[in-house]
């Protein structure tokens, strides 16, 4: 039964190797060790593959140990199996979201008249995406031709204008406080124009995304529209929509 302890330890160290490789994909890109393309298409898949091997080895260990009624090195075996599943869960889920969601990276609560970047324009000089909202551009999603704006509405129907029974000035103050609570880097806050611009940098790959908020009167109250856009890439795997949802929740909490 010498093979059982070896399998258990192999599953554990493969899970550790998977974690190291996956983490190095993002942090290595931030440190300039390799390009984004190599990180996404080379390092990250390699880490996931190692993790899948760890899961397979851990599963073999688990079945074999049960039949043999031998629980030697079970700590290694369970840590390897469960750890590997946990390690690959996030990138696998991101890949699934990227496959099921439309390939868009510019999300706004107002697709007809989206908020426009102004103060952020000089900071976007190296961006590979245009600062203009591509709402009328066509793309193929789920086998059909749709516009960018239509794809957003189909994928994220909950992303809508925020309305409140308060004054525009008060909503602006709440909006600015919520943006700060999100940990964003505030670039501009013009109360007269009702415009807030900020950036948010992702932890893993260090992507910098741009955000613009517009506050305006609406009937007896005020309304807020927000737009979140990636500087690079094609699909944001739902990151910008998630950011807008989190912001609205934070805003509602400050109201």
- Measured in whole angstroms, the distance separating CA 80 from the mean position of its chain's CA atoms is 27
With a cut of 70, say whether residue 110 has pLDDT above it: yes
Distance CA 112, CA 217 (A): 17
Domains contained in the chain, number: 2
- Identify whether residues 140 and 246 lie together within a single domain: yes
Nearest to 8 by CA among 102, 54, 73: 73
pLDDT-above-70 percentage for the chain: 97
- Identify whether residues 12 and 127 lie together within a single domain: no
pLDDT of residue 159: 97
Over residues 125-132, mean pLDDT: 93
Please say which residue of 72, 100, 128 terminates a domain. Answer: 100
Better-predicted residue by pLDDT, 37 or 243: 243
pLDDT of residue 3: 75
- Identify whether residues 61 and 133 lie together within a single domain: no
Q: What is the mean pLDDT of the chain?
A: 92
Please say which residue of 71, 100, 129 terminates a domain. Answer: 100
**pLDDT tens digits for 196-244?**
999 999 888 888 999 999 999 998 899 999 999 999 988 898 999 999 9
By residue range, what is the domain housing residue 171?
Answer: 106-254
Check: CB of residue 246 under 8 Å from CB of residue 159.
no
Distance CA 184, CA 178 (A): 9
pLDDT of residue 20: 96
Q: Where are the beta strands (DSSP E) in the chain?
A: 106-108, 138-141, 144-147, 162-164, 185-190, 195-201, 208-218, 221-230
- Identify whether residues 53 and 136 lie together within a single domain: no
Please say which residue of 100, 116, 134 terminates a domain. Answer: 100
Distance CA 78, CA 102 (A): 37
With a cut of 90, say whether residue 252 has pLDDT above it: yes
For residue 221, the domain's CATH number is 3.30.530.50
- Identify whether residues 16 and 79 lie together within a single domain: yes
**pLDDT tens digits for 180-193?**
999 999 999 999 99
- Identify whether residues 121 and 241 lie together within a single domain: yes
Better-predicted residue by pLDDT, 26 or 99: 26
With a cut of 90, say whether residue 142 has pLDDT above it: no
- Identify whether residues 92 and 213 lie together within a single domain: no
- Identify whether residues 40 and 161 lie together within a single domain: no
Structural tokens at position 117: 């970047």
- Identify whether residues 96 and 186 lie together within a single domain: no
- Identify whether residues 47 and 172 lie together within a single domain: no
pLDDT of residue 55: 96
Structural tokens at position 83: 């750890």
- Identify whether residues 207 and 114 lie together within a single domain: yes
Long-range pairs, 13-16, Cβ under 8 A, ≥24: 13/80, 14/50, 14/51, 14/53, 14/54, 14/57, 14/80, 14/84, 15/51, 15/54, 15/58, 15/79, 15/80, 15/81, 15/83, 15/84, 15/87, 16/83
With a cut of 80, say whether residue 7 has pLDDT above it: yes
Over residues 241-249, mean pLDDT: 97
- Identify whether residues 247 and 148 lie together within a single domain: yes
pLDDT of residue 255: 62
pLDDT of residue 94: 82
Structural tokens at position 14: 């493969």
């Amino acid at each position: 039964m010498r093979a059982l302890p070896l399998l258990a330890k192999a599953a554990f160290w493969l899970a550790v190797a998977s974690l190291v490789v996956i983490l190095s994909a993002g942090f290595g890109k931030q440190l300039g060790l390799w390009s984004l393309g190599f990180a996404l298409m080379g390092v990250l898949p390699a880490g996931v593959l190692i993790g899948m091997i760890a899961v397979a080895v851990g599963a073999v260990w688990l079945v074999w140990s049960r039949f043999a009624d031998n629980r030697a090195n079970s700590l290694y075996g369970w840590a390897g199996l469960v750890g590997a599943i946990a390690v690959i869960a996030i990138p696998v889920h991101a890949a699934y979201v990227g496959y099921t969601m439309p390939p868009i990276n510019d999300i706004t609560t107002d697709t007809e008249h989206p908020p426009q970047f102004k103060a952020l324009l000089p900071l976007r000089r190296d961006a590979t995406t245009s600062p203009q909202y591509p709402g009328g551009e066509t793309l193929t999603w789920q086998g059909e031709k749709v516009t960018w704006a239509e794809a957003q509405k189909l994928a994220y129907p909950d992303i809508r204008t925020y309305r409140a029974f308060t004054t525009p000035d008060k909503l602006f103050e709440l909006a600015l406080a919520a943006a700060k609570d999100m940990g964003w880097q505030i670039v501009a806050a013009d109360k007269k124009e009702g415009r807030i611009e900020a950036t948010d940098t992702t932890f893993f790959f260090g992507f910098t995304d741009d955000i613009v908020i517009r506050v305006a009167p609406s009937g007896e109250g005020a309304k807020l529209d927000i737009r979140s856009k990636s500087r690079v890439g094609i699909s944001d795997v739902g990151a910008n929509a998630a950011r807008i949802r989190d912001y609205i929740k934070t805003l509602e909490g400050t109201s």
